[in-house]
Amino acid sequence: MDMGGFPIRQPLPTAAIEMIDPFLLLHHAEVKVPKNIPVTKAGVGPHPHRGFSPVSFIFKGGVHHRDSRGNDNVIYAGGTQWMNAGMGIIHSERPPVDIHEIGGVQELIQLWVNTPAKHKMDQPAYQPLTAEDTPVWESADAKTKVNIVAGHFQGIKGPIHTLSNVNTFTATMQTGAKEFFPIPESHNAFIYLMEGQLKINGDQVLEPMYLANFELNGTGFELEALSDARFFIGTGEPLNEPVASHGPFVMNNQTEIMESFRDYQLGKMGVLIES
């Protein structure tokens, strides 16, 4: 897909699947930052959000986050920018000023996590997480590594505070590695494979740039790396609430969507002036 001039992959939503409750959208982008425009004008300029958490998992380069609540922060490869938009916030996502010194490429996944109705009008909150502060689980043979951003994995808790019960992990497996990933029985779950090949439960083979959505009928899944693999796992307790979305707003009905546009136009989500 083309997203504001950026080529991205969008495995969620598609014609085949609208959402994986509570996950609404997944974008995967790997872009070379142009040298013919100032870095401060590259990336995604100021735009509003309300009613969900747009989360960026950064794999190459970095992201400079600024928002109308005064947050101004750069997170580099291996880190995460987790923002609960709450009642409304305006933010921008630019490359860091040193992007060309560190390779000139940005690779990231942006995941939209729905917010329960009772928290949609909370005050916005921004949580930056560096690679250094992200806990890592490693298998006994050191062939599988899992970075725990939010939720729990093998007794390790991720640092990010979430408004519903979700797990988000980034992981790597070396060729030949085999591992069982336990998942809470009540959670929806998916894998998005960025690189390599994975065999799932000894049966289906997942190819790169594809998403596997699991049925809600077990306690986990087994993965075997047919080649060196890099992937993302998301699991979450379904909210089972109505979803009304339009552009940058995700609420529970159309009236709330109209109110979101009104409040944005009235300046109630603040102002972001980039220096």
φ, ψ of residue 99 to 5 degrees: the values are -60, -35
How far is it, in rounded angstroms, from Cα 126 to Cα 136?
22
Which CATH number does 2-132 carry? 2.60.120.10
Mean pLDDT, to the nearest integer, of 22-44?
A: 94
How would CATH label the architecture of 136-236? Sandwich (2.60)
List Cβ neighbours of 53 (8 Å cut-off, separation of 6 or more). Answer: 82, 83, 84, 85, 112, 113, 115, 162, 163
Query: Which residues make beta-bridge pairs with 14?
Result: none
Query: Under DSSP, is residue 261 helix (H, G, I), strand (E, B) or coil?
Result: helix
Sketch the domain layout of the chain as residue ranges: 2-132, 136-236
For the segment 188-238, what is each residue's pLDDT rounded down to a tens digit?
999 999 999 999 999 999 999 999 999 999 999 999 999 999 999 999 999
Q: What was the pLDDT predicted at 4?
A: 67
Pure H helices in the chain: 254-265
CA distance 153 to 86: 27
Distance CA 89, CA 98 (A): 26
pLDDT at 2: 82
Q: Do domains 2-132 and 136-236 have the same CATH topology?
A: yes
pLDDT digits 0-9 by tens, 72-103: 999 999 999 999 999 999 999 999 999 999 99
Residue with tokens 């609540």: 69
pLDDT band at 118 (very low <50, low <70, confident <90, very high): very high
State how far the Cα of 80 lies from the Cα of 82, in Å rounded to an integer.
6
pTM of the model: 0.96
